Structure 1
Amino acid sequence: MTIREDYHMNRKRNVFIGLITCALLITTVFFVFNQGKSNEQVVKEYFGFLNDRNYKQMYQMLDQKTVYTPTQKYFVKKHKEIYDVIDAKNIQIKVLNEKDNIIKYQISMDTIAGKIKYKNKIGIKDEKIQFNKELIFDEFSDKNKIKVTTIQPFRGYILDRNGKYLAKQGNGYSVGLVRGKLNGENDYSKIAEYLETDIETIQNKMNASWINDDSFVPIKNISEQRKDKLIQHGILKIGGVKINSISSRIYPYDKITSHLVGYVQNVNSKDLKKHKNEGYTSSSVIGKSGIEAAYERQLRGEVGARIDIVDENNNIVKTVAEREAKDGKDIRLTIDIDLQQSLYNEYQNDKSASVALNPKTGEVLALVSTPSYSSNDFVLGLSTDKWNELNNDVNQPLMSCYKQTYTPGSTMKPITAAIGLETKTIDPNKDLRAKDKWQKDSSWGNYYVTTLHAPSPNNLKNAITYSDNVYFARSALNIGKENLFNYYKNLKIGEKIPFELALNKSQYINKNQKVSDQLIADSGYGQGQILMNPLQLASIYSAFVNNGSIYQPHIVQGQTKTWIKNVFSKETTKIIKEDLINAIADENGTGHSIYHDSVTLAGKTGTAEIKQNQSDTTGTELGWFTVMTTDSQQSILMTTVVEDVKNRGGSGYVVEHTKKPLDLYLSK
């Protein structure tokens, strides 16, 4: 054999050996990776699909010879009826032992009624589940079913600072019909007229499948006052009409607190979807606005639940899990309802917002919006006509005015003054020389800043006392855009106001707006593009009696904390406070009509013009007034803004209507 032949023989042998080795390797790999799943793996995979509520995949893992139903659709439906309803999640499987392809395991899960844990067993054959009905649920059978009962907690009350009820459970009334005593449908139109509803609504309710001849079918809930009127007008003379008493959420102060406290209503389909698996049912109520909505979780409490296995007669076979309901917590507000009521009475015929707070703590003592609506009407159910009336009212009674922002006018002047003192751009003793109208230079064309009061000497004290527009326009330009805007930011103007109820953000400039000298000058006396929320304005004024710091405004007790620390120096706030005292003490001061001999008050009026341009004479005016005590044990700061005060006294109108509420509070 030649060397060449030997080489070829060895090469063929090596190739052959390589092929055999490769085949053995492939066989080994195939064996290793295809030896199949263990029974424990199969069980955990099956219940993993249950945890994910992937019922279709569960069905695919069943040994079809053992399945109790021929269709996947029925299997899925049955599991949904149980696991979706009990809100099963965090399903955990622990295998206890295995013998003869029978796995004993322990299953646990969290549910609407608490944790459920039990032991069971399952057969495995060829990686398929040997189905039995107890795999659906422990002790489950064809004749049994799962029943979930929710237990609604008692809703907490809402109280004012002195323990007076602003929202509580009380008595309402349900007007309904008893079909067996009706004179057919002939009286439906008359009943619909009485209840301010329509015939179709009544027909739909009376056609429900559950109704028997002696069933009481509720049509509309009403107040006691409404009930008395309906009886007086003869509704009970119609055959089949009946009035039952019911438990209902009631608001003793109604319109006085509606924008603040809000109201509850029966949940709708949107609520049920949003709060799925939180225990709400079609008969539940939920906070829709105000404190009722903001503190829904605390007021509502925790829903209780019980999961039972029941037989075909609805008898309990076994209670699987049970969790007690926890009643809601009462919410005690910082509101003084007497002050709230007094402010409401003064402005109920105006479009206005009033804020009263304790400047030393940030506690909101009153928060009023007028005109208002009835919270009780919303609880008991509004008629379509009443709803349309409220929505179409030009005075917008459904709008919470204290949430809005307004042009602050002259109430911004003390803030401009404080910024000027802080930046050393205002000398409080310097006489700028009074001017009735003023412009920076001829580049302003026909635009002038004008004032009704040009005091002499034209210093800071007189400018605040007599509310001189020109002084603060000139001062704003001296302060400059950078200083002015930096301090607006320090005061959180333009940021979200930290408060339990949503408030619109204040602003000092429109986004992407070109800043001109004219705009800066107008900002100095509260015009320009400045918009202020009444609560934020009141909070900023509190710095003048707190050595320059501002407490965070809050309406629920127990939340006192500093919001903005040392935004102004003690020296600055002392000067501004004394000038604000003079604005009331001086006989010619703009707020003098509220002067008190026994209490030192500080305050500032403001009349903001709402018009298209300087020559517009058809615009409206906003009237502002902020007043605060400076040395009284009864610390209070009140800010009110009233729309459309033109030809009604301007800000003077607000000063006059602030007297009574302030006197009431100080007399306590």
Structure 2
Amino acid sequence: MRSRRRATLNNTQEELGLFRRRSIVAMVVVLIMLSTLVGRLVYLQVIKHDVFITRSDSNRMRVEPLPPNRGLIFDRNHKVLAENRPTYNLTIVRERADDLDQTLDLLVDILGLSDDKIDTFKKRSRQRQRPYQPALLMSDLSEAQIASLAVNRYRLPGVSVEAQLLRYYPESVAMSHVLGYVGRISESDLERLDSSNYAGTHFVGKLGVERFYENELHGKVGYRTVETNARGRALRELDRTPPESGRNLTLTIDSDLQALGYKLLTGKRGAIVAINPQTGGILAMVSTPGYDTNQFVTGIDSKSYRALQDDLDLPLYNRAVRGQYPPASTVKPYMSLAGLENGVITPQTTVYDPGYYKLPNDSRRYRNWLRWGHGRVDMRRAIRVSNDTYFYTVAHRLGISRLSEFMHRFGYGEAHSLDVWGAQSGIMPSQEWKRGRFGKPWYPGETLSVGIGQGYWLATPLQMATAASVLANKGKWIRPHLAKEIGDTEVAPPFPETPPDIELKNSNWWNLVDQGLEDVIQSGEGTARSLQQGLQYTMAGKTGTAQVFTLGQNQKYNASELRERLRDHALFIAFAPVDDPQIAIALIIENGGGDHLAAPIGRKMLDEWLLLRLDKADSETPRLDELARGASDH
């Protein structure tokens, strides 16, 4: 028994076979594992080389957008209206922050933000962005804030302080409704913008020129590739594609004329638009009151914004291009041309004015502004004294269809400006318009109201200035515009989609109407005769008074008895010099109580533009004695 067990234990042949079998199995396992390891190594290093080298580089390299410098804006004399000033912005890359909420709470403590700013601050951090694109948290950091952030930088992963250029408007209030402003890119902005071109850009044009010419002013984004350490801090720059700066924009606006217009309307609600009829360039576009657009660049606080919104004078409202008012008696020169063109009157046609007009078979009296009437008036005198009865007659003979069609030719009821953002088309009523708007028929009495620029007829100051410019040009159309040069490219007519010139059956009718408009200023019974004193050039003008509410049949208007906001609007249009028009103007003063306020302001605007040029022309013209002296020398 004992010998048999010993023989089994000492069977070396069997033990050797067992060892070999186990060795083979172990070798197969090792070979399988080695093959798997080699196969995986080949897969990673050869087959997936491009993928993993990219991932590897991403861990140490980062592509950063380089925002372009925004183009500057100048007035026609190359005075800076919108510039860029260096500033420091606080940004955060959400993907690099370990705990976003904790990081934001820490930033709030470090910066010492007030309660009303905390919600806005956190909302900006979550605004929709492209991955790894920095979100703007704060602009225009103070030196104390920058120092506090630098001390706590190790606690703020993903947070950076960036040096950038910030928009600044030197004449922000007077230019507020012309230039508009830039502001932080919002969710709605992201939907209309090219996200790739706005990578790294935090601001975009919101209103006015800044909005209309956003593509030209913004430029093109650039990129740089940097090597970073494990904490994401840039160590060195590996590659760079520089950005293309936005193009500078030179406007047709004259900042001195604009400033004067704003000063003249200070304390009033109103608008002034001045146009060069020869080029269509807008020389001034004032709306009062204005507001400080610089507040909106960095983000206006809720209290200040609420104050602007709740202000009864509506400082955020651009009256020059969005305000729609009855054009009142300023339309009478166009009514005269409409009557002549359609053959319902001649220059010699006279109408007897007893102080009112009555439609056939209608007892209602449509009153003239002078209650006892002007007696017998022809077209020229009707313009001069602004006789309502004459133009009631013209309107009734024309009918609303012909009247409306003719006024469209001057741009009423249309938006013909080339590059004025937000310009409204106003209302030039017709039978079809009223039926579509109210579902009611047109009545003859409504035609009479339209005939003196009242009723449903509404126009913007820009439209009134445009029509005055076309009148000054004797029917030649040049679309009004704000841009004079974009970069090095001049903006000049002819412009696309320009309305056809107005050609009358008799071209002398333009001169006849001009004579009536000159009489408004020069004649002793003209409605703006006070302007003739000291006038050094020829001026054609027309006053207007637009009713804010309707008087009863036997009521008499008395501004002193009315609340200020129920008083009539004061209007004035003009162009000068008559033979060679260089400026056409339209202005309105809301609740001015009558046209006596508007006309003197218009005169001062024309003086500002023309007298300097007349003095310069005189200084460049050799005197007769100098010419005689020069002749004797030879």
TM-score by length of 1: 0.68
Q: 1:608 aligns with which of 546, 549, 552?
A: 546
Judge conservation of contact 1:143–1:312 (CA < 8 Å) in 2.
Answer: no
2:416 is aligned to: 497
Matched, 1:361 2:287: no
Q: Which runs of 5+ in 2 are unaligned?
A: 1-36, 92-104, 127-135, 152-160, 485-490, 613-634
TM-superposed CA distance for 1:412, in Å, is 1.0
Q: 1:658 aligns with which of 602, 608, 620?
A: 602
Superposed, which structure 2 residues align to 1:247-646 within 5 Å? 247-281=165-199, 284-306=202-224, 323-404=241-322, 405-443=324-362, 445-452=363-370, 454-501=373-420, 502-509=422-429, 510-512=433-435, 513-557=440-484, 558-561=491-494, 563-569=498-504, 570-595=507-532, 596-612=534-550, 614=552, 619-631=566-578, 635-646=582-593
Q: 1:140 aligns with which of 54, 63, 67?
A: 54
SS at match of 1:149: strand
How far, CA to CA, are the matches of 2:313 and 2:589 in structure 1?
12
How far, CA to CA, are the matches of 1:633 and 1:426 in structure 2?
28
How far, CA to CA, are the matches of 1:240 and 1:555 in structure 2?
43
Judge conservation of contact 2:357–2:366 (CA < 8 Å) in 1.
Answer: yes
Residues 286 and 457 of structure 1: CA distance in aligned 2, closer, same or farther (over 3 Å): same
Post-superposition Cα deviations, 1:469-528, rounded to whole Å, max 9, x if no partner, equal 111011111122332122133334323323312211122214415222111111111112
Post-superposition Cα deviations, 1:551-571, rounded to whole Å, max 9, x if no partner, equal 111111123237334314322
Figure out how many residues of one structure are paired with residues of the other and give that number.
510
How far, CA to CA, are the matches of 1:354 and 1:201 in structure 2?
40
Judge conservation of contact 1:266–1:283 (CA < 8 Å) in 2.
Answer: no
TM-superposed CA distance for 1:641, in Å, is 1.0
How far, CA to CA, are the matches of 2:234 and 2:166 in structure 1?
32
How far, CA to CA, are the matches of 2:580 and 2:407 in structure 1?
31
Judge conservation of contact 1:264–1:378 (CA < 8 Å) in 2.
Answer: yes
How far, CA to CA, are the matches of 1:457 and 1:393 in structure 2?
48
How far, CA to CA, are the matches of 1:67 and 1:450 in structure 2?
102
In structure 1, give the amino acid aligned to 2:602.
Answer: T
How far, CA to CA, are the matches of 2:402 and 2:385 in structure 1?
25
TM-superposed CA distance for 1:283, in Å, is 5.4
TM-superposed CA distance for 1:378, in Å, is 1.1
How far, CA to CA, are the matches of 1:203 and 1:355 in structure 2?
40
In structure 2, give the amino acid aligned to 1:656.
Answer: P
In structure 1, give the amino acid aligned to 2:67.
Answer: Q
Q: Which runs of 5+ in 1 are unaligned?
A: 1-64, 69-121, 124-129, 177-183, 209-216
Q: When you count helix as a share of all residues, which structure comes out higher?
A: 2
User: What is the identity percentage for the equivalent residue pairs of Structure 1 and Structure 2?
Assistant: 25
How far, CA to CA, are the matches of 1:498 and 1:199 in structure 2?
40
SS at match of 1:345: helix
In structure 2, give the amino acid aligned to 1:163.
Answer: H
TM-superposed CA distance for 1:204, in Å, is 5.8
TM-score by length of 2: 0.71
How far, CA to CA, are the matches of 2:235 and 2:441 in structure 1?
76
Q: When you count strand as a share of all residues, which structure comes out higher?
A: 1
In structure 2, give the amino acid aligned to 1:572.
Answer: W
TM-superposed CA distance for 1:312, in Å, is 6.1
How far, CA to CA, are the matches of 1:478 and 1:416 in structure 2?
11
Judge conservation of contact 1:161–1:332 (CA < 8 Å) in 2.
Answer: yes
Post-superposition Cα deviations, 1:451-483, rounded to whole Å, max 9, x if no partner, equal 327334411111111111111011111122332
In structure 1, give the amino acid aligned to 2:494.
Answer: K
2:66 is aligned to: 151
How far, CA to CA, are the matches of 2:203 and 2:596 in structure 1?
44
Higher mean displacement: 315-324 or 259-268: 315-324
Judge conservation of contact 1:411–1:605 (CA < 8 Å) in 2.
Answer: yes
TM-superposed CA distance for 1:66, in Å, is 13
How far, CA to CA, are the matches of 2:311 and 2:64 in structure 1?
44
Superposed, which structure 2 residues align to 1:46-125 within 5 Å? none
SS at match of 2:76: coil
Higher mean displacement: 434-443 or 459-468: 434-443
SS at match of 2:597: helix
Q: 1:667 aligns with which of 586, 590, 611?
A: 611
How far, CA to CA, are the matches of 1:554 and 1:505 in structure 2?
15
Judge conservation of contact 1:298–1:329 (CA < 8 Å) in 2.
Answer: yes
Residues 389 and 550 of structure 1: CA distance in aligned 2, closer, same or farther (over 3 Å): same
Q: CA RMSD in A?
A: 4.1
TM-superposed CA distance for 1:613, in Å, is 5.8
How far, CA to CA, are the matches of 1:601 and 1:134 in structure 2?
81
Superposed, which structure 2 residues align to 1:8-27 within 5 Å? none
SS at match of 1:521: helix
Superposed, which structure 2 residues align to 1:20-35 within 5 Å? none
TM-superposed CA distance for 1:414, in Å, is 0.9
